[in-house]
């Protein structure tokens, strides 16, 4: 049936029991469109399991139908989902990438990746600096750049405290914006909430859990904190993009204690808003966050100054190590802390650099074809 709107008009993108069939159809349609429209692309770039079928549909069929000019590039965003499809696309593609150099190393031994290491590269993701722009953002009270970051963030923190019913006070505020899944380090998130409260700080968590048991668990924690620490902590268990802007702007720290993280956008957005990332050293978090006490040389090798706090390990001691240093730095040296906020805002985590890496990869793909 050519009329398959009921396939996609289902109120969600993923998570139906016919995802493979729906996305397979979509991949076919995309290739058929390219063929019928007479457009002859040089590169067809597919992402993750959902467009993986393009790689083999192209090489087995469409290349013979007349789309012969194209080279297929395939990018892994998260190997946890659809590994079988990803493995097959890796085999059929001409070049493959994933979203950070460190994640590329971490997954190099995975059977989906290891036979294809010769064509596999890590290129960091970027954020859109127009969508995430504290100087032009309808969801925050005072527009700011690195020049007036202190005033801008102070106003945003007050607005956030007011909106969520927290005490309006000058306290270190830790923000957490995340899917609540194992990947994101749930036990570390919970521990960090309690540690921050113990240190006299405030915590705002914005997150939602696809697993109802985890959602329920956090709902209980939210209720508990609402009665025991109502002026210090608020857990918002929904998906709310406008609120995320206010948290990025109003927080002093954004915590990302992921167990694994292919790239991670949260820490990059945090820095765009002058919030200091506190992260676990994994995947793209390792490649973008440089600890103020330990990573000066590693940052310098990238032409950067250190920009955050990080930790190894996946236990409470690890997260404490980074969080305690972060909160102490806030209490003990506000001038230093404010200059750190200014510094992270001036770092460029947009697509400017990664786009050049992709261009180079596309040129290499074309060259290897000719």
Return the residue matching tokens 């290491």.
Answer: 117
| Token duo for residue 220 | 């209980």
List the one residue from 44, 73, 86, 177 that touches ligand ADP (CB under 6 A): 177
Q: Is 182 in the site for ligand ADP (CB under 6 A)?
A: no
DSSP state of 67: -
Q: CA distances (Å), 356 to each of 38, 94, 118, 120, 352, in order? A: 28, 19, 20, 17, 7
The yes or no reply on residue 240 touching ligand ADP (CB under 6 A) is yes
| Per-residue tokens: 327 | 């909160």
Q: How far apart are the first and last CA of the chain?
A: 39
Query: Which range, of 51-59, 63-71, 133-141, 203-211, touches ligand ADP by CB under 6 A?
Result: 203-211
Q: Which stretch binds ligand ADP (CB under 6 A): 67-75, 139-147, 177-185, 349-357?
A: 177-185
206 binds ligand ADP per the rule CB under 6 A? yes
Distance CA 353, CA 363 (A): 16
Residues ≥6 apart with Cβ < 8 Å to 147: none
Query: Contact between 350 and ligand ADP (CB under 6 A)?
Result: no
Give the nearer residue to ligand ADP in terms of CB position, either 179 or 226: 179
> Is residue 231 within the footprint of ligand ADP (CB under 6 A)?
no
CA distance 251 to 248: 6
Going through the chain in order, the beta strands assigned E by DSSP cover 43-47, 71-76, 95-98, 120-122, 173-179, 202-208, 233-236, 253-256, 276-280, 309-311
Q: Which letter does DSSP use for residue 170 in this model?
A: -
Beta strand pairing call for 253-256 and 233-236: unpaired
Binding residue for ligand ADP, selected from 241, 293, 348, 360, defined by CB under 6 A: 241
Indicate whether 318 belongs to the interface with ligand ADP (CB under 6 A).
no
232/266 with CB nearer ligand ADP: 266
Smaller CB separation from ligand ADP, 71 or 178: 178
Residue in 152, 207, 274, 354 binding ligand ADP, rule: CB under 6 A? 207
Smallest separation, CB 112 to ligand ADP (Å): 18
> What is the contact mask toward ligand ADP in residues 17 to 56, using x (rule: CB under 6 A)?
----------------------------------------
Q: With binding defined as CB under 6 A, does residue 264 bind ligand ADP?
A: yes
123 backbone φψ class: left, alpha, beta (φ>0; ψ -120 to 50): beta
Residue 179 lies near ligand ADP (rule: CB under 6 A): yes
Give the footprint of ligand ADP on this chain (CB under 6 A).
Answer: 177-179, 206-208, 239-241, 244, 263-266, 269
């Amino acid at each position: 049936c050519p009329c398959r709107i009921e396939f996609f008009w289902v109120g969600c993108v993923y998570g139906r029991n016919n995802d493979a069939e729906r996305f397979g159809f979509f991949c076919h349609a995309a290739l058929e469109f390219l063929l019928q429209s007479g457009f002859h692309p040089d590169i067809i770039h597919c992402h993750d399991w959902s467009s993986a079928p393009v790689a083999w549909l192209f090489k087995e069929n469409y290349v013979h139908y007349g789309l012969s000019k194209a080279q297929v590039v395939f990018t892994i965003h998260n190997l946890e989902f659809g590994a079988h499809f990803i493995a097959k696309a890796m085999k059929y593609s001409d070049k493959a990438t994933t979203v950070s150099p460190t994640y590329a190393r971490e997954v190099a031994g995975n059977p989906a990746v290891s036979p294809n290491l010769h064509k596999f590269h890590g290129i960091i993701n970027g954020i859109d600096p127009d969508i995430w722009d504290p100087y032009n953002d309808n969801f925050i009270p005072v527009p700011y750049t690195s020049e007036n970051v202190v005033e801008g963030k102070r106003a945003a923190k007050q607005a956030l405290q007011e909106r969520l019913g927290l005490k309006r006070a000058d306290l270190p505020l830790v923000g957490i914006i995340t899917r609540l899944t194992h990947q994101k380090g749930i036990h570390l998130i919970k521990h960090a909430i309690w540690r921050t409260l113990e240190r006299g700080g405030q915590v705002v968590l914005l997150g939602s859990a696809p697993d109802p048991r985890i959602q329920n668990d956090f709902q209980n924690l939210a209720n508990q904190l609402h009665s025991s620490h109502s002026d210090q902590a608020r857990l918002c268990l929904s998906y709310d993009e406008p609120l995320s802007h206010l948290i990025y702007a109003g927080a002093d720290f954004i915590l990302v204690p992921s167990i694994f993280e292919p790239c991670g956008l949260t820490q990059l957005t945090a820095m765009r808003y002058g919030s200091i990332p506190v992260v676990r050293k994994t995947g793209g978090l390792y490649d973008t966050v440089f600890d103020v006490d330990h990573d000066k040389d590693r940052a310098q090798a990238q032409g950067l100054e250190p920009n955050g706090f990080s930790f190894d390990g996946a236990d409470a001691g690890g997260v404490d190590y980074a969080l305690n240093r972060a909160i102490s730095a806030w209490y003990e040296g506000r001038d230093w802390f404010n200059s750190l906020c200014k510094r992270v805002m001036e770092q460029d985590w947009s697509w400017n650099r990664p786009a050049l890496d992709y261009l180079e990869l596309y040129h290499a793909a074309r060259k290897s074809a000719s």
